[in-house]
Structure 1
Amino acid sequence: MDKEEKKYNRLQWFLFVVLIPLLFTITIALIVLSFAGVNVMHASKSLADNIPFISKMTGSGDKNNKAAKEGSTDSKKELAQLEAGIKSKTAEVAKLENIIDSKDQEIQRSSAEKQQLENEIKDLNAAQADNKRAMKDIVTTYETMAPKKAAPILTKMPDDNAVKILSKIKAASLAAIMEQMQPADAARLTKKLTDFNQQQTP
């Protein structure tokens, strides 16, 4: 009988000292929070979601996990799209670099061809200068040579060569050389010399 009374006294003590004041305090707190404008239901749900075993009971944890998975999937898709865009841009850059390299090679070839042509022009100009000097020396030789010796040499060489030399010889020396030629040779070379001088005149 005493044991039952002790158990009853303990339960009564727990009810009056712990449980009833706790419930009273929670009720007062909820009333105060409601008057303060706090959404008590929403706050209690958020609190329950953060407590592991309660969130499993309410199922909110599953929703959060599902949302997290969906967010992860969206992030993977965006990452894949970005990687594809980077690959595309990299391919375009490589293509442009190839075009630039091709253009550079064309420019180098053009520069080499230009340099080659310039060298050929220099060689031709040098050859022409040498020919002019050689022709000048030949003309000087025939002018200083006795007309009687020069005339037979000129008549025996090809007419084109003879005409080129005769066209450079001074008038006095030319007349003296022509006098030493046979009339037929003198007439032929005179005609060709006249035609040559007409062609040289612009």
Structure 2
Amino acid sequence: MVKQTKQKTGEFSTTEKKSIGIFQVLLLWVLIPLLFASAVLLIIAKVADVNVFDKAGEWTKSIPFLQKDEDKEETQTDLVLGERVVSLQAEIQNKEAELTKIQSDLENANKDKVNLLAKQQELLAEIEMLKSAKNDSQKDMKEIITTFESMSPKSAAPVLTKMSDAEAIQILSKLKPDTLASILEKMSPEDAAKYTSLLTK
């Protein structure tokens, strides 16, 4: 009986060794080294400041049949956003070109304004000169009229006929009616008629 037990025990122990042996071989020779290598690689990656999980995600995205629909949607969204950015940049460039043109127009308008102000100053100065000249000529005209009124009609008539018609009419129109009548009496009938006609116009 003992032998059988031994045999049975021996058989039992041998069978037990075989099943434990395969599991142990698998555990010792495959899983434990694989886990150890993975742990070492993770430690090295951590020291090298590399995110293994992000890298793994990038590698899986590069494999066509592993890409998810979300990735495709993100790619399409990125394309739409990229096109929108390009169109907005083109719009910005157009607006900048318009702004540059408006600034150029504004500068030209400012230059024109400065030129117009300078011309206005010149014209005002010229108006002042003309007013002054007119005042001087009015003073001269008053003196001439005073002179003609103090002259005898016989002396004034020949002087007026020697002047241009415009000058003569200007003087005659300013004379007092009595003086004018006396001077016209001393002129020839043709000259008197001419000046009377010009005075009535």
Task: Tell me the TM-score normalised to structure 2 length.
Answer: 0.51
SS in 1 for 2:128: helix
Counterpart in the other structure of 1:132 = 134
The 8 Å contact of residues 142 and 150 in structure 1, kept in 2 or not, is answered as no
Q: CA deviation at 1:156?
A: 0.9
Q: Distance between the aligned counterparts of 1:150 and 1:129, measured in 2?
A: 30
**Offset of residue 75 of structure 1:** 4.8
- Deviation (angstroms), 1:86: 1.8
1:71 shift after superposition = 5.1
Residue type at the aligned position of 1:136:
Q
1:158, distance to aligned residue in structure 2 (A): 0.9
More displaced stretch, 172-181 vs 157-166:
172-181
Amino acid at match of 2:85: E
Distance 1:159 1:139, change over 3 A: same
Q: CA deviation at 1:168?
A: 2.4
Following superposition, the deviation at residue 127 of structure 1 comes to: 5.3
C-alpha root-mean-square deviation of aligned residues, in Å? 4.4
- Contact in 2 for aligned 1:151/1:181 (Cα 8 Å): yes
Cα-to-partner distance string for 1:76-107 (whole Å, 9 max, x where unaligned): 41342132122221133134325524653574
| Residue 155 of structure 1 pairs with residue 155 of structure 2 | no
Identity %: 23
Call closer, same or farther: CA 1:64–1:166 in 2, change over 3 Å: farther
Are the equivalent residues in 2 in contact too, given 1:151–1:177 (CA < 8 A)? yes
Q: Distance in 1 between matches of 2:151 and 2:186?
A: 7
Letter in 2 for 1:82: R
Q: 1:107 to 1:121 in 2, by over 3 A?
A: same
Q: Distance in 1 between matches of 2:110 and 2:186?
A: 61
Specify the code of the residue in structure 2 equivalent to 1:191.
S
Q: Which runs of 5+ in 1 are unaligned?
A: 13-51, 196-202
Q: Which amino acid aligns with 2:165?
A: D
Determine if contact 1:139/1:168 at 8 Å carries over to the other structure: no
1:90 to 89, 92, 95: 92
Rounded to whole Å, the distance in 2 between the matches of 1:142 and 1:176 is 17
Gaps of 5+ in 2: 1-5, 21-52
Asked if the contact 1:155/1:185 (under 8 Å) is kept, the reply is yes
Does 1:188 pair with 2:194? yes
Q: Matches of 2:165 and 2:111 in 1, distance apart?
A: 45
**In the alignment, what sits opposite 2:16?**
8
Q: Distance in 2 between matches of 1:133 and 1:99?
A: 50
SS in 1 for 2:67: helix
